[in-house]
């Protein structure tokens, strides 16, 4: 079970009002300064959260009712994703000015939520979702954010860390994705000696110049902002935005690796129907909802269903101005963008975990240089710091993107020792036996969108405990 500090470290919401809504489990405590009208406004706009372990035998039901607000669905999905929960099923419905989301979630081991601290945190966070006044930067660490986009190549990450080490930059957090020959990365850094943000314009220009020499066609950007513990899905969303702006979805790819995505027109109802079928994995729903939101589409209704290792997601969307997708070119663009969003995080490399106390860029540069010397390439990386301990996760392949050679992995582990570097298997992506006929289901996606409106919705309403039969 997660400790209190671990729970707080996994989420991006920093501060909350003391009168946070507690769903069905408690009452709202009002500050004395609020009058009755202000209380009424808060009641009307604060999401109502219900968490129930009795509806489903295999998952915890999380239901959120709220006034409709731009981005509210993404915020709700982000809260669950930040806690490393798996969304097995979901039903999304927006009717006029109100919406209802129902999620069936499990922990990383595929079990119902049993920790009262986790449940309470979900209630507080979802109860405040969409309330901008519930966030703040008081008491948070200020870090300098370095954004980098450019051409990928083997050994690139080791050269980036070498540049930062030479300039005495301490990397507190980092996220790096590679996709279709491109790299997008976020580095949250401080001055190594003082621990203060990097705000010297001369040093910033020097870092940018050196990184542009290292990364071909690189674009960089610096900013200073407050952050709490872990950068979480805020960084993931920014990586999606960087790669989208870099138009990675337009680049050629191996069609065999693409998920099945279709977009159909339901003109009589004024919707476009997006249907996705692919292998299930953590954060899949977040990546899809994030992409549609950033492309300025609004999800009015949706069904998410997983079975064994397969995921099926269906969304009824419109533009933010209320119109559906109205051209073949736009339809193809949505398909390619969603395929890219799913593929970016679907790393096939072997997961290596590097743990160290009081680390610096020198260690990271040495580790990634050792990868390069043994013919290994980093396809994705996540670095985080908790107290005096830093955990760096690398997904590695060989130089051509194929599975890494066993001897190369053994040589790298021998160099750093098993107490510092180890091979870690990702958690199971599903619980239960493999589904029969998944290939047939994936090939039939193109005709599924409109047909499933009645049967799939009714089936999932029953599974989610919203109807009896």
Which residue range forms the structural domain that includes residue 79? 7-32+41-132
In a domain, 293, yes or no: no
Sign of CA dihedral 440, 445, 447, 450: positive
Question: Which residue reads 């830093």 in tokens?
Answer: 390
Of 392, 395, 399, 400, the closest CA to residue 416 belongs to 392
- Asked whether the beta carbons of 177 and 382 are under 8 A apart, the reply is no
Q: State both tokens at 88.
A: 């097995």
158 or 453: which carries more pLDDT confidence? Answer: 158
98 within some domain: yes
pLDDT at 456: 47
Euclidean distance between CA atoms 126 and 116, whole angstroms: 15
Distance CA 163, CA 47 (A): 46
Q: Residue 48: inside a domain, yes or no?
A: yes
Q: Has residue 15 got a pLDDT over 70? A: no
Closest-CA residue to 151 (of 178, 181, 180): 181
Does the residue 252 lie in any domain?
no
Supply the CATH number for residue 119's domain.
3.30.70.260
Residue 462 is assigned to a structural domain of this protein: no
| Number of domains comprising the chain | 1
In a domain, 27, yes or no: yes
pTM for this prediction: 0.80
Report residue 313 CA to chain centroid gap.
16
- What whole-number percentage of the chain has pLDDT above 90? 48
Distance between first and last Cα of the chain: 35
**Regarding predicted confidence, which is higher, 448 or 223?**
223
Q: How far apart are CA 356 and CA 277, in angstroms?
A: 39
Residue 84 within a domain? yes
> Does the residue 408 lie in any domain?
no
- For 293-296, the CB contacts below 8 A with 24+ separation are 293/71, 293/73, 293/74, 294/237, 294/240, 294/241, 294/244, 295/244, 295/334, 295/337, 296/320
Is the pLDDT score of 2 beyond 50? no
Give the least confident one: 60-69, 149-158, 189-198, 255-264.
255-264
């Amino acid at each position: 079970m997660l400790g209190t500090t671990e729970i707080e470290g996994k989420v991006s919401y920093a501060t909350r009002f003391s009168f946070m809504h507690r769903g069905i489990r408690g009452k709202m405590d009002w500050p004395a300064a609020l009058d009755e009208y202000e209380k009424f406004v808060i009641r009307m706009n604060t999401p109502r959260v219900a968490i129930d372990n009795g509806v489903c035998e295999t998952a915890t039901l999380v239901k959120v009712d709220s006034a409709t607000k731009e981005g509210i669905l993404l915020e709700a999905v982000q809260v669950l994703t930040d806690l490393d929960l798996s969304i097995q099923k979901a039903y999304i419905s927006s009717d006029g000015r109100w919406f209802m989301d129902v999620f069936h979630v499990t922990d990383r081991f595929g079990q119902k939520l049993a920790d009262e601290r986790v449940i309470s945190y979900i209630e507080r966070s979802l109860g405040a979702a969409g309330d901008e006044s519930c966030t703040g930067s008081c008491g948070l660490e200020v870090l300098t954010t370095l954004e980098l986009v450019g051409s990928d190549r083997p050994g690139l990450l080791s050269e980036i860390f070498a540049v930062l080490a030479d300039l005495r930059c301490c990397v507190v957090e980092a996220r790096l994705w590679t996709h279709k020959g491109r790299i997008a990365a976020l580095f949250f850094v401080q001055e190594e000696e003082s621990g203060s943000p990097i705000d010297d314009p001369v040093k910033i220009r020097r870092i940018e110049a050196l990184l542009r020499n290292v990364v071909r066609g690189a674009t960089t950007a610096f900013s200073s902002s407050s952050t709490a513990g872990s950068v979480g899905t805020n960084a993931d969303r920014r990586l999606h935005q960087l790669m989208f702006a870099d138009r990675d979805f337009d680049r050629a790819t191996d069609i065999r690796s693409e998920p099945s995505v279709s977009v159909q027109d339901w003109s009589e109802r004024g919707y476009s129907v997006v249907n996705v079928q692919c292998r299930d994995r953590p954060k899949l729903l977040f990546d899809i909802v994030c992409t549609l939101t950033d492309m300025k589409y609004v999800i009015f209704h949706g069904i998410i269903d997983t079975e064994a290792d397969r995921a099926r997601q269906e969304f009824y969307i419109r533009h933010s101005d209320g119109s559906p997708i109205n051209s073949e070119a736009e339809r193809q663009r949505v398909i390619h963008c969603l395929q890219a969003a799913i593929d970016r995080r679907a790393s096939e490399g072997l997961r290596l975990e590097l743990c160290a106390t009081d680390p610096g860029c020198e260690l990271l540069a040495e580790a990634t240089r050792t990868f390069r010397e043994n013919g290994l390439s980093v396809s994705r990386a996540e670095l985080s710091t908790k107290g005096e301990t830093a955990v760096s996760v690398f997904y590695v392949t060989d130089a051509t993107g194929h599975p890494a050679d066993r001897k190369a992995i053994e040589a790298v582990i021998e160099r750093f020792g098993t107490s510092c570097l180890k091979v870690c298997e990702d958690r199971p992506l599903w619980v239960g036996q493999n589904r029969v006929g998944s290939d047939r289901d994936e090939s039939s996606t193109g005709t599924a969108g409109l047909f499933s409106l009645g049967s799939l919705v009714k089936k999932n309403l029953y599974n989610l405990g919203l109807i009896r039969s």
